[in-house]
């Protein structure tokens, strides 16, 4: 048997790669990891974590407004973008250091540089020039923002730059209607930026339950976010008054910042996949089987670079399963991609588990839909027009709950636990016999009638 420098070489120190490296090392494997940017990857540095901090910041004005109804006198609150970004960066550095420390404490050798395959079992490190041979490799390099190319597209930013804007723009145009677009629309609008969204279709959040997407659009309109539908950017020009955006409809919009949120691409840049013989699909994602193995037996891949379900906890589960199976001979926990709970941290936020109504109707002939829409007590008391939407989809013959879709305050936290119920194959009868917790928003979910 050939001798290798390491048992496992992980490329990419994000959520999936770090989990796999640590677990493999805990099973006794000799592990090295290469990360060319920041440990923690997109989630910690340019994604979920800083995004959620900005979302929290953007929701304070609503609370300040509501506080008057609760007897608090008006405060003269001033917002300072620079201090938020500085504080956020301090927190991200702290988290990144924890990621690195955990790797070192697990016995993983860290290479803070780019790694490229020379062949299926040899990696070359870009800065040190070092060569490392590996019995197995794991590609966990994530994704990067897709940037459409059109005249002036270089004047636009993506989510990568949005976390480090030197100042808050006065006017922003967000292109795209997915997760990142609606989350940043909520952040900017909440912080007082004149915000608009441009989508090529008619509806935000394609792929989510349509009732949720429609109600989110209503709320966003009420919050002053303009929605420009069925159009795309033809060009952006720099003018004295800002960026002049020409749309495919002939309309023009002048803003300070254009942010492209038109999806993400698998990050296979400079990996040397050809030298290793690793196959990618037509979108550039690394093709893997159910065990995350590529077409090359010694090379595996997890997370966004495989474009399965691009969410941090999914990458973590894939990384854990890979390492447990290969180095611990442990059968991994089953991962049902259809029952992964997910949230969109727009304002108001969305929480969802299972099939959308359209998917459920396609899959099952006899679907019952229970739905309620109401103003929560906190909102009604404060005079807010915000509403909560709850929608439950039931397969009638079996009484199985096949989808739950929520919009409103705090629903992301609910979605996590509804995920437990649906993973345990809960029936509607199980929801119904659960006693309501009063007074709460979530209680409406077990008292729904239909």
Q: Do 386 and 409 touch, CB atoms closer than 8 A? A: yes
For the segment 364-393, give every residue that binds ligand NDP (CB under 6 A): none
Residue 187 interacting with ligand NDP (CB under 6 A): no
Residue 206 Cβ vs ligand NDP, minimum distance, rounded to whole Å: 3
Residue nearest to ligand NDP (CB): 178
Nearest Cα to Cα of residue 35 among 144, 164, 163, 127 = 127
Pick from 342, 352, 356, 379 the residue near ligand NDP by CB under 6 A. Answer: 342
Residue 267 interacting with ligand NDP (CB under 6 A): no
Residues in contact with ligand NDP, total (CB under 6 A)? 24
Nearest Cα to Cα of residue 405 among 413, 415, 395 = 415
Q: Which is nearer to ligand NDP, 5 or 160 (CB)?
A: 160
Residue 181 interacting with ligand NDP (CB under 6 A): yes
Residue 200 interacting with ligand NDP (CB under 6 A): yes
Q: Which is nearer to ligand NDP, 103 or 266 (CB)?
A: 266
Q: Check whether the bond before 397 is cis (ω within 30° of 0).
A: no
DSSP 130: -
Q: Do 136 and 8 touch, CB atoms closer than 8 A? A: yes
Residue 196 interacting with ligand NDP (CB under 6 A): no
Pick from 344, 353, 407, 421 the residue near ligand NDP by CB under 6 A. Answer: 344
What's the CA gap between 424 and 410, in Å, rounded? 23
For the segment 134-153, give every residue that binds ligand NDP (CB under 6 A): 148
Q: Which is nearer to ligand NDP, 17 or 176 (CB)?
A: 176
Q: Do 267 and 142 touch, CB atoms closer than 8 A? A: yes
Specify whether 438 is catalytic: yes
Q: Do 326 and 318 touch, CB atoms closer than 8 A? A: no
Radius of gyration of the chain (CA): 24
- Secondary structure of 300-335 as H, E, C letters: EECHHHHCCCCCHHHHHHHHHHHHHHHHCCCCCCCC
Q: Which is nearer to ligand NDP, 156 or 344 (CB)?
A: 344
Residue 177 interacting with ligand NDP (CB under 6 A): yes
Among 7-15, 129-137, 240-248, 338-346, which window interacts with ligand NDP (CB under 6 A)? 338-346
Pick from 32, 139, 156, 180 the residue near ligand NDP by CB under 6 A. Answer: 180
Q: Which is nearer to ligand NDP, 183 or 395 (CB)?
A: 183
Nearest Cα to Cα of residue 393 among 411, 418, 420, 376 = 418
- Element at 414 (helix H, strand E): helix 411-423
Residue 322 interacting with ligand NDP (CB under 6 A): no
Site string for ligand NDP, 18-57 (x = CB under 6 A): ----------------------------------------
Q: How many alpha carbons lie under 13 Å from residue 54 in its C-beta half-sphere? A: 31
Residue 179 interacting with ligand NDP (CB under 6 A): yes
Site string for ligand NDP, 211-250 (x = CB under 6 A): ---------------------x------------------
Q: 326 by DSSP, 3-state: which?
A: helix
Residue 190 interacting with ligand NDP (CB under 6 A): no
Nearest Cα to Cα of residue 174 among 165, 166, 186, 164 = 186
What's the CA gap between 251 and 231, in Å, rounded? 9
Nearest Cα to Cα of residue 291 among 336, 266, 323, 328 = 323
Among 3-11, 186-194, 258-266, 416-424, which window interacts with ligand NDP (CB under 6 A)? 258-266
Q: Which is nearer to ligand NDP, 412 or 441 (CB)?
A: 412
Residue 58 interacting with ligand NDP (CB under 6 A): no
Pick from 322, 345, 364, 431 the residue near ligand NDP by CB under 6 A. Answer: 345
Q: 266 by DSSP, 3-state: which?
A: strand
Residue 346 interacting with ligand NDP (CB under 6 A): no
Nearest Cα to Cα of residue 18 among 54, 53, 57, 45 = 45
User: From the CB of residue 184, how many other CB atoms can be counted at a distance below 10 Å?
Assistant: 26
Residue 354 Cβ vs ligand NDP, minimum distance, rounded to whole Å: 16
User: From the CB of residue 376, how many other CB atoms can be counted at a distance below 10 Å?
Assistant: 20
Q: Using CB under 6 A, list all residues that contact ligand NDP.
A: 148, 175-181, 183, 199-201, 206, 232, 261-264, 310-311, 342-345
Catalytic residues: 438
């Amino acid at each position: 048997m050939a001798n290798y420098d390491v048992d496992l070489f992980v490329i990419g120190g994000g959520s999936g790669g770090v989990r796999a490296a640590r677990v493999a090392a805990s099973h006794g494997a000799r592990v090295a990891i290469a990360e060319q940017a920041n440990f923690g990857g997109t989630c910690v540095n340019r994604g979920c974590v800083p995004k959620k901090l900005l979302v929290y910041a953007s929701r304070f004005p609503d609370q300040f407004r509501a506080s008057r109804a609760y007897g608090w006198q008006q405060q003269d609150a001033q917002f300072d973008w620079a201090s938020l970004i500085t504080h956020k960066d301090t927190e991200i550095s702290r988290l990144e250091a924890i990621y690195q420390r955990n790797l070192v404490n697990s016995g993983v050798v860290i290479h803070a540089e780019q790694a490229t395959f020379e062949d299926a079992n040899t990696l070359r490190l870009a800065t040190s020039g070092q060569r490392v041979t590996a019995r197995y490799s794991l590609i966990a390099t994530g994704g990067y923002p897709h940037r459409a190319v059109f005249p002036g597209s270089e004047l636009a930013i993506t989510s990568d730059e949005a976390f480090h804007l030197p100042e808050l723009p006065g006017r922003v145009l967000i292109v795209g209607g997915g997760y990142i677009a609606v989350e940043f629309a909520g952040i900017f609008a909440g912080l007082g930026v004149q915000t608009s969204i441009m989508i090529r279709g008619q509806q935000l959040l394609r792929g989510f339950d349509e009732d949720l997407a429609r109600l989110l659009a209503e709320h966003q309109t009420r919050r002053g976010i303009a929605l420009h539908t069925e159009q795309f950017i033809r060009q952006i020009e720099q003018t004295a008054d800002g960026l002049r955006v020409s749309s495919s409809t002939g309309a023009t919009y002048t803003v300070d910042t254009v942010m492209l949120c038109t999806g993400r691409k698998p990050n296979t840049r400079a990996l040397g996949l050809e030298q290793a013989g690793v196959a990618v699909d037509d979108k550039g994602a690394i093709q893997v089987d159910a065990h995350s193995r590529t077409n090359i037996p010694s090379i595996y891949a997890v997370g966004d670079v495989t474009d399965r379900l691009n969410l941090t906890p999914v990458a973590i589960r894939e990384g854990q399963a890979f390492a447990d199976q290969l180095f611990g001979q442990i059968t991994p926990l089953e991962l049902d991609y259809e029952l992964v709970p997910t949230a969109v941290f727009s304002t108001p936020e969305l929480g969802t588990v299972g099939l959308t109504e359209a998917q459920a109707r396609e899959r099952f002939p006899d679907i019952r839909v229970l739905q309620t829409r109401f103003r929560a007590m906190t909102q009604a008391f404060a005079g807010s027009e915000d509403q909560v939407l709850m929608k439950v989809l039931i397969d009638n013959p079996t009484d199985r709950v096949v989808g739950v879709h929520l919009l409103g305050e705090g629903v992301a936290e609910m979605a996590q636990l509804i995920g437990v119920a649906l993973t345990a194959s809960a029936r509607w009868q199980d929801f119904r016999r659960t006693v309501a917790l009063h007074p709460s928003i979530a209680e409406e979910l077990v008292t729904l009638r239909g």
